[in-house]
Structure 1
Amino acid sequence: MTTHTDTNNTLTLEHLDGFRDGFASDPQNRLMQNTVTQRDVNEVALDHDIVTNASHTFSMLLDEWATTDQGFSGRCWLFSGLNLFRVDTMNSLNTRRFEYSQSYMMFWDKVERANFILEAVIETADRPTDDRIIQHLMTAPVEDAGQWDMFVNLVDKYGVVPKEAMPETESSGNTRQMNNSLYYQVRQGAAKIRSLYKEEAGLDAMRQAKMDTLTTVYRILCIHLGNPPSIVDWQWRDRDGKFHRDGELTPLDFADRYISTDYRDMV
């Protein structure tokens, strides 16, 4: 039997020499190489004629509201939900500047996530560590990402506050280091719970281990994000410069008074 060797599927030295010679034969390639190795390719590729000929006079103007910025975090779902409320709230306040606190929502979201994960660890304590559910729970136990039903539950339980009551911090807009600390603590708590299960310490002992971990999680979040307010002394100026004061409100009171969007019927 004759064995045939197919050389067409292999890159040979001749092929590589052809690539090299082909690149060197075009002076524009060297020009682009010299430019792009020194400057951002998007700047180099910018067509100046298109930029100068683009008109910035439009038939329709949007309200002059400042944009919101999630920074280097996965809070797009929180920003989207709060921006939905923001429109009606700004209209009711007759103001150009207003944001709900995204840090406040993230704070309670991470507390709730940690509790959910640790409760799941208690429920699955009899499973082996290489169980796929256990691995899933421990992969990113308090990550940033979320979805609409989670947002609705947070608003219903914790309310909302204006951004000045709990503003952005370094960690809220760049969550990697904070999340790493939270991941470590939740995983340590999960290991403790599973150890207590093996020792047959009982459900109360496992729940106490959960609460000990949540205490640490709360402390880390306070350090990174600040303390979540329980009372907001709310006052503002409207578009006409008129001063308004609504006094002290709890976050749930604030939500009840200023969120007019019927968000519970949305999916």
Structure 2
Amino acid sequence: MIHETIGTNEWEWAGKPYAAIKDVGRQDGSILVVPVGSVEQHGHHLPVITDTLLVEAMVHGAAESLRDDVPILVTPPVWSGFSPHHLSFGGTLSLEFEHLRQTLEDIGRTGLENGFDAVCFVNGHGGNAALIDALVSTLGKTTDAEVLGTTYFQLAASEIAALRDSDPGGMAHGGEYETSLMLYLRPDLVVDAMIEEGTRWDEHYEWGGGDLLEGGQLSVYREFEEYSDTGDIGAPELASAEKGERIHDIVTDELGAMFTAIHEHNR
């Protein structure tokens, strides 16, 4: 059954006839936005669709905040990411790095053929971040359109840090940040009884980062169960719907400002 809300927003690619898509693409400074998420375990209290659901919500919130004269369309989210480090817990669906990069290249390339001046990939999963960075270059060198990429939880980090009740490490995977957003956006998918004090981030190298707001300067690969017995890391017990609303509003405002800047640069 096709989702009954598809096409109810003017910026949704999926609900438009092809001619309407090309009409948007031909406008000066037009932007194609591709949300990229994942399906992976998020502990016992959050659903596996968390990353995809959240990045889609952030992109839609940003699109809704834009002036009517910013021509923008948002594709359906790419729901499978690069998540090999989560597979041992179960419930995770992961693509190979090159398969995902090539899939996103194809989506971006064919989307741009409708006349768009820019494409922006908005990522919602930490494991995709390096891939999105690579994609900007590999797709960018093949087109005259502008190719951009960002990870939404890296935006407005200082403002969101002022909202946190946890110490560094508390806003990691399935922690205070993501649980707050889910309590605000989809509380029906949060298993309240399973929200408990999470495992705190414990990386051997001090350069390895702390959580979603503090990515660190050193990359290291570890299976996720080396960090956590339950699959989540951080402080989900400090999450709240009120905090999730503030995070949502701050990030969507910042993302909307980014989209406006992309539009103005490409006019």
For the aligned pair, the TM-score class normalised by the smaller chain equals under 0.3
Q: Which has the higher helix share?
A: 1
The structure whose Rg is larger is 1
TM-score calculated relative to the size of structure 1: 0.22
